[in-house]
């Protein structure tokens, strides 16, 4: 098979096209999520919840968060592992759920999880019985009858029911049926997931890799494990090398059918969530875009370079800066604290970025407040 040789500019253009961030915007939320494969959930809403912010950055101000709420209520989108996914995609995960905690030789942590669930089988069965008769329920409405407490050095220490419910999701027994305020509602998976034929595990893994690569355009065949959504794509697509970057990549050939020209792809300014899939893999972002970025919300204020929840700024096919802004809903303002320029902004870039800031404010139904 031919190994495609791409410049970093060409690789960036593939990634931007794949993430639907060109000048021509998509128009339908469900079609957008089907292409991106998922929207990540995150409770941080310094500007807007991540899922909404990602949708707005593609669809523009025509997008209303009520569309996302309706899609969840109608079960066209389903929450799984902190991701909102098209309902039909659940068939790609059911075989993996049935094989929990894994196949072949298990790692020590997988064995520990299996033994902890076995020790608390009475509590697991009690949860299934209660959901079967009274669901959907919040975790607070499910009594903790665990015989062996969950122990960790982190925030899940002694949160037995929540940990058991998360494992029962991974086993395909229960599912998130919605939300009551910020609390998740749990129900039997059979009531939530569509009754589609289960895709065999090997085929499902291949399809997930192919769909992930279609949404990313270019990615590593192997990458560090991610606790949310995988960053690598296995053998999907075709091999590629990127000029000036070590290692082999995989590229979806559908984007190579679009000829590269000496000029930048027709683009626009876009303000991206820190969790946006264009920038989610910080190493990939640095290698392909020469863009240094970290989410600094967990850093002391004095050590932040770009701000609490700085939004990466895309212009055309280049990441050009960061927007430090906060939505002050009580004051009715989008407070712009700083616009950090990674490259000197031309008049065209400045105008496009300010148009996008104004559009973001309109979408949030607040007024923009810029420094100076």
260 band by pLDDT with thresholds 50, 70 and 90: low
Q: Indicate whether 64 and 209 sit together in one domain.
A: yes
**Tens digit of pLDDT for each residue in 194-211?**
999 999 999 999 999 999
Q: Indicate whether 289 and 142 sit together in one domain.
A: no
**For position 157, what pLDDT does the model report?**
54
Q: Indicate whether 241 and 150 sit together in one domain.
A: no
Q: Indicate whether 282 and 137 sit together in one domain.
A: no
Q: Indicate whether 68 and 101 sit together in one domain.
A: no
Determine the average pLDDT of the residues in 105-134: 96
List the structure tokens of 295: 């989410």
Are the C-beta atoms of residues 114 and 127 closer than 8 Å to each other?
no
Look at residue 51 and tell me whether its pLDDT is greater than 60.
Answer: yes
Q: Indicate whether 233 and 357 sit together in one domain.
A: yes
**For position 372, what pLDDT does the model report?**
66
**For position 2, what pLDDT does the model report?**
86
* Structural domain for 95, as ranges: 84-191
**Among the listed residues 195, 176, 179, 197, the one whose alpha carbon sits nearest the alpha carbon of residue 187:** 176
Determine the average pLDDT of the residues in 152-172: 83
Query: Of 145, 172, 191, at which residue does a domain stop?
Result: 191
Look at residue 337 and tell me whether its pLDDT is greater than 80.
Answer: yes
Look at residue 262 and tell me whether its pLDDT is greater than 50.
Answer: no
**Tens digit of pLDDT for each residue in 275-294?**
999 999 999 999 999 999 99
d(CA 68, CA 86): 12
Query: Of 146, 162, 191, at which residue does a domain stop?
Result: 191
Q: Indicate whether 113 and 231 sit together in one domain.
A: no
CA geometry: angle at 253 spanning 258 and 13, to 5°?
A: 50
CA distances from 345 to 26, 206, 334 (A): 27, 42, 22
Query: Of 191, 224, 239, at which residue does a domain stop?
Result: 191
| Count of domains forming the chain | 2
CATH code, domain with 153: 1.10.10.10
**For position 198, what pLDDT does the model report?**
96
261 band by pLDDT with thresholds 50, 70 and 90: very low
d(CA 171, CA 94): 9
d(CA 48, CA 66): 13
d(CA 102, CA 167): 13
Determine the average pLDDT of the residues in 348-355: 96
The sign of the dihedral angle between the CA atoms of 312, 313, 315, 318 is negative
Angle between helical axes of 8-18 and 201-216 (0-180°, round to 10)? 110
Look at residue 56 and tell me whether its pLDDT is greater than 60.
Answer: yes
List the structure tokens of 62: 């025509």
Q: Indicate whether 227 and 346 sit together in one domain.
A: yes
Task: Note the pTM of the prediction, 2 decimals.
Answer: 0.92
Which stretches of 133-255 are assigned E, i.e. beta strand? 174-180, 183-188, 218-220, 238-242, 249-251
Q: Indicate whether 209 and 339 sit together in one domain.
A: yes
φ/ψ (deg, to 5) at 101: -90, 5
């Amino acid at each position: 098979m031919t190994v495609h040789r791409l410049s970093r500019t060409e690789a960036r253009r593939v990634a931007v096209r794949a993430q639907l961030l060109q000048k021509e915007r998509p128009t339908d939320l469900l079609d957008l999520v089907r292409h991106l494969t998922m929207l990540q959930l995150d409770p941080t809403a310094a500007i807007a919840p991540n899922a909404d912010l990602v949708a707005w950055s593609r669809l523009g101000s025509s997008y209303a968060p009520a569309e996302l709420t309706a899609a969840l209520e109608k079960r066209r989108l389903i929450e799984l592992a902190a991701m909102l996914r098209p309902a039909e995609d659940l068939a790609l995960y059911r075989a993996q759920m049935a094989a929990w905690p894994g196949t072949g030789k298990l790692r020590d942590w997988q064995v520990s999880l299996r033994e902890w669930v076995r020790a608390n089988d009475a509590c697991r069965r009690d949860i299934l019985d209660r959901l079967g008769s009274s669901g959907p329920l919040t975790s607070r409405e499910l009594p903790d009858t665990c015989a062996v407490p969950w122990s960790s050095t982190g925030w899940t220490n002694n949160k037995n029911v929540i940990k058991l419910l998360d494992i029962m999701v991974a086993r395909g027994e229960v599912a998130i049926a919605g939300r009551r305020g910020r609390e998740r509602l749990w129900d039997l998976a059979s009531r939530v997931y569509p009754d589609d034929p289960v895709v065999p595990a090997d085929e499902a893994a291949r399809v997930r890799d192919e769909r992930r690569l279609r949404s990313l355009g270019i990615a590593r065949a192997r990458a560090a494990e991610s606790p949310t959504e995988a960053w690598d794509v296995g053998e999907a697509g075709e091999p590629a090398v990127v000029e000036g970057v070590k290692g082999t990549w995989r590229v979806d050939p559908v984007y190579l059918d679009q000829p590269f020209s000496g000029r930048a792809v027709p683009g626009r300014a876009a303000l991206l969530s820190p969790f946006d899939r264009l920038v989610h893999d910080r190493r990939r972002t640095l290698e392909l875009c020469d863009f240094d970025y970290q989410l600094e919300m967990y850093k002391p204020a004095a050590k932040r370079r770009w701000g609490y929840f700085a939004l990466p700024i895309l212009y055309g096919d280049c990441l050009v800066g960061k927007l430090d802004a906060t939505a002050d809903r009580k004051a009715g303002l989008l407070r712009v604290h700083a616009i950090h320029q990674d490259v000197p902004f031309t008049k065209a870039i400045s105008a496009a970025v300010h148009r996008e800031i104004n559009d973001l404010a309109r979408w949030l139904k607040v007024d923009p407040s810029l420094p100076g």
